[in-house]
Structure 1
Amino acid sequence: MSSSEIAHDFSPHLRVYKDGRVERLEGTTTVPPSYDQNTGVLSKDVAISASTPCLSARVYIPTDTTINNHSDAKRKKVPLLVYFHGGAFCLETPFSPMYHNYLNSLVSEANAVAVSVHYRRAPEHPLPAAYDDSWTALEWVSSHSGGDGPDDWLNTYADLRKVYVAGDSAGGNIAHHMGLRYGCALKTKTSDWVEGIDLRGIILVQPFFMGNEPVGNERTDQATRSLLVGLWHLACPSATDGCDDPQINPEKDPRLSSMGCARVLIFVAERDVQREREWLYRDLLVKSEWEGTVEVMEAKGEDHQFHLFHPTSNDAVNLMRRFVSFLNENEIRHG
């Protein structure tokens, strides 16, 4: 018998009841994969792991460039973007209208293939489940490096020597950790499959970072900080150091210099409570022994995830334009 007693109330986002039941109050609407006439992008849903039935992805291809206009012999493979959605590790899916529409636009503008990962969510599956699922998704992507992987679209259209990982909010946090795991695996040779992909860059859109000591906007927006701290503890109850756990506070992570790509792009929103954390992350990367380049683009007067809530605004359009150019810079430089 279910209980109506609330253990954790994060309204208007979600509630957790004492019997373990989770009531998500947002991000539950889904749309099926489709051919999007506005962008010419085709999508489908795929299973990634038989041992983890909850782990899947929505795959996107830009049909006008990859299918309709080229024969098999002349078709040029395009970059592959692996995307991790936000939602404090607890909310949203790749199948929500907001993320589905955004990936349609991004794939169309960038002329890239995208894999939008549906990882297991907290609190039913606390961290590190989302990290482990995302790592498994990258391994699944790498299985296509010989052109004989389980998904025909990746075999045919994706250039696995031009792989990017990206995410917003909690997804940005995940993308950061995938870059670290990839770099560490390359150095230690603990995962043979990492040689099957070339991770060119990481894009973090207002990533979810935190720390025990408030900084910047966290001091003035204490209500939002309190919400994020609570959601972090819900997502990762095993974090004995609270918000100074290396999973949420990069400043406490000794592995930063192991970032496994040459380029990192961070999108910051001026009014975002985590703004200073994201600038600090940039400084930490620069001061570490990592030899790559990091760029920050800040949107003045904007708040967290503005690009998803108002995708046609000038700032969102500028964010998309920079995102796309980052994905295609290797194309421009090397032809």
Structure 2
Amino acid sequence: MDSTKSSEIDIDFSPYLIIYKDGHVEQLNESIFVPPSLDPRTNVESKDTPYSPENNLSLRLYLPKNTHQNQKLPLLVYFHGGGFCVESAFFSRYHSFLNSFVSEANIIAASVEYRQAPENPVPCPHDDSWTALKWVASHSDGKGPDDWLNHHADFQRVFFSGDSAGGNIAHHMGLRHGLDKLEGVNVRGIILVHPYFWGEQPVADDTDDVNLRKKLEGMWRFTCPTTSGFDDPLINPAFDPNLASLGTNRLLVCVAENDVVRARGWYYTEILKKSGWGGEVEVMESKGEDHCFHLTNPTSENAVALLKKFVSFINQD
């Protein structure tokens, strides 16, 4: 065995991650695991609760501290990004983001941890996320295992959201809900933030950078080695025969001007409208910004505007 193999780079996707030839992934965006807590900045409380003990998987619940007994709040289920191979619901940037989101919107939220590639390739992250949703939905009658969800989640006002790979997951969770309804759950809206979609053929305004396209395609094959290719419905919604079944009637798609997947976000809204889906879709584009900028620079003017848009989307319901 070549002793230098572990240091040989296969895909350099800086500034986000590097995939090495031996299969291990190095995350370049520094972040740390943080425990649940009462956040003094937002007055939001959080706790971790298992949803799949057999796979050692939990989700992190967030609740405003001043919530009255049995007060019902809209429920947000959030799926973190990271290309299906890095990041965590328990990383500091996601913990901080969810604290802010919950406080500003006055909602209860569940942030889902799922297994990732290469040990658990796509569609494992999607399957884990669906398991989490079914566990959350088991509280719709007020008799589930978690008191916060029993007492405070309004299951007639449920929202899915996620960024990057998490946006991909949120889309697919919307499709699964459309095809196999979560009992007692009304998904009133889905928010996709810089969703990770791709395709074999370029679309309008897509990148023509050959090397960048190869990197993206290499990362997809790394995380989903059994894929049929870049028109696999898991990564290209245009080839999904069930696209019109998206289980909500309101959708917000957020894109960033300098993001490599920006064009795919716009394209997604076009094909969704043509699919026969009968809902309303809105797009918000952040000028001068790159992929998931709101997580790395949350106090910037554009990040604050993005959060306000999330809040208004939920509260206008």
Could you say which TM-score interval applies, normalised by the shorter chain? over 0.9
Q: Please report how far the alpha carbon of residue 214 of structure 1 lies from its aligned counterpart in structure 2 after TM superposition.
A: 2.6
Residue 39 in 1 paired to residue 42 in 2?
yes
Deviations 1:120-165 (A, max 9, x none): 0111100110000000010000110111111111111111111110
Q: Which amino acid aligns with 1:251?
A: A
Structure 1 vs Structure 2 CA RMSD: 1.8
Aligned pairs (5 A) from 1:90-169: 90-169=85-164
Aligned pairs (5 A) from 1:198-217: 198-216=186-204
Q: Is the 8 A contact 1:217 1:273 kept in 2?
A: no
Q: Which amino acid aligns with 1:297?
A: M
Q: Please report how far the alpha carbon of residue 101 of structure 1 lies from its aligned counterpart in structure 2 after TM superposition.
A: 0.5
Distance 1:25 1:302, change over 3 A: closer
Instruction: State the SS of the aligned residue for 1:211.
Output: coil
Structure 1 gap ranges (5+): 187-193, 331-335
Q: Is the 8 A contact 2:25 2:86 kept in 1?
A: no
Structure 2 gap ranges (5+): none
Instruction: State the SS of the aligned residue for 1:279.
Output: helix
Q: Which amino acid aligns with 1:161?
A: Q
Partner residue in 2 for 1:191: none
Partner residue in 2 for 1:179: 174
Partner residue in 2 for 1:61: 63
Distance 1:17 1:24, change over 3 A: farther
In the alignment, the residues of structure 2 paired with residue 24 and residue 44 of structure 1 have an alpha-carbon distance, to the nearest angstrom, of: 25
Residue 231 in 1 paired to residue 219 in 2?
yes
Aligned pairs (5 A) from 1:251-290: 251-290=238-277
Q: Which amino acid aligns with 2:19?
A: R
- Does 203-212 or 313-322 show the bigger shift? 313-322
Q: State the aligned residue count.
A: 313
Partner residue in 2 for 1:190: none
In the alignment, the residues of structure 1 paired with residue 99 and residue 250 of structure 2 have an alpha-carbon distance, to the nearest angstrom, of: 24
Normalised TM-score (structure 1): 0.88
Q: Which has the higher helix share?
A: 1
Sequence identity (%):
54
Instruction: State the SS of the aligned residue for 1:267.
Output: strand
Deviations 1:186-236 (A, max 9, x none): 3xxxxxxx1221111110001000011233554344443332211111110
Q: Which amino acid aligns with 2:221?
A: H
Distance 1:9 1:300, change over 3 A: closer
Q: Is the 8 A contact 1:14 1:26 kept in 2?
A: no
Aligned pairs (5 A) from 1:241-320: 242-320=229-307
Distance 1:152 1:199, change over 3 A: same
Q: Which amino acid aligns with 1:49?
A: S
In the alignment, the residues of structure 2 paired with residue 328 and residue 28 of structure 1 have an alpha-carbon distance, to the nearest angstrom, of: 31
Q: Which amino acid aligns with 1:98?
A: R
Distance 1:236 1:63, change over 3 A: same
Residue 79 in 1 paired to residue 68 in 2?
no
Q: Is the 8 A contact 1:79 1:162 kept in 2?
A: yes
Instruction: State the SS of the aligned residue for 1:276.
Output: helix
Partner residue in 2 for 1:189: none
Q: Is the 8 A contact 1:4 1:17 kept in 2?
A: no
Q: Is the 8 A contact 1:269 1:303 kept in 2?
A: yes
Q: Please report how far the alpha carbon of residue 271 of structure 1 lies from its aligned counterpart in structure 2 after TM superposition.
A: 1.2
Q: Please report how far the alpha carbon of residue 15 of structure 1 lies from its aligned counterpart in structure 2 after TM superposition.
A: 3.2
In the alignment, the residues of structure 2 paired with residue 268 and residue 221 of structure 1 have an alpha-carbon distance, to the nearest angstrom, of: 19
